[in-house]
Amino acid sequence: MDEMLEKVVVKLREDFADAILDVSEFRGDITVLVRRDKIAEITKFLRDLPDCPFNLIEDVCGVDRLERKERFEVVYHLFSLEKKVRICLKVRVDEAELRVPTVTGVFPGANWHERETYDMYGIVFDGHPDMRRVYMPEDYEHFPMRKDFPLLGIPGSIKLPRQ
Least distance in Å: CB of 120 to another protein?
Answer: 8
145 lines the binding site for another protein (CB under 8 A) = yes
**How far, in Å, CA of 131 to CA of 112, rounded?**
9
What region does 152 belong to: left with phi over 0, alpha with psi -120 to 50, or beta? alpha
Give the binding-site size for another protein (rule: CB under 8 A).
46
Q: Which of 72, 107, 118, 143 binds another protein (CB under 8 A)?
A: 107
Stretch that binds another protein, among 1-9, 10-18, 36-44, 61-69 (CB under 8 A): 61-69
Q: Taking CB under 8 A as the rule, does residue 124 contact another protein? A: no
Using the minimum distance from each CB to another protein, give the nearer residue, 42 or 110: 110
Under the criterion CB under 8 A, does residue 17 sit at the interface with another protein? no
69 binds another protein (CB under 8 A): no
Total number of residues shown for the chain: 163
Distances (CA, A) of 132 to 97, 106, 113, 121: 18, 19, 11, 13
Q: Is 3 in the site for another protein (CB under 8 A)?
A: no
Dist. CA 94–CA 82, nearest whole Å: 35
Residues near another protein, by CB under 8 A: 26-29, 31, 55-59, 61, 63-64, 75, 77, 81, 84, 86, 88, 107-113, 116, 120, 130, 132-139, 144-145, 149, 151, 156, 159-160, 162-163
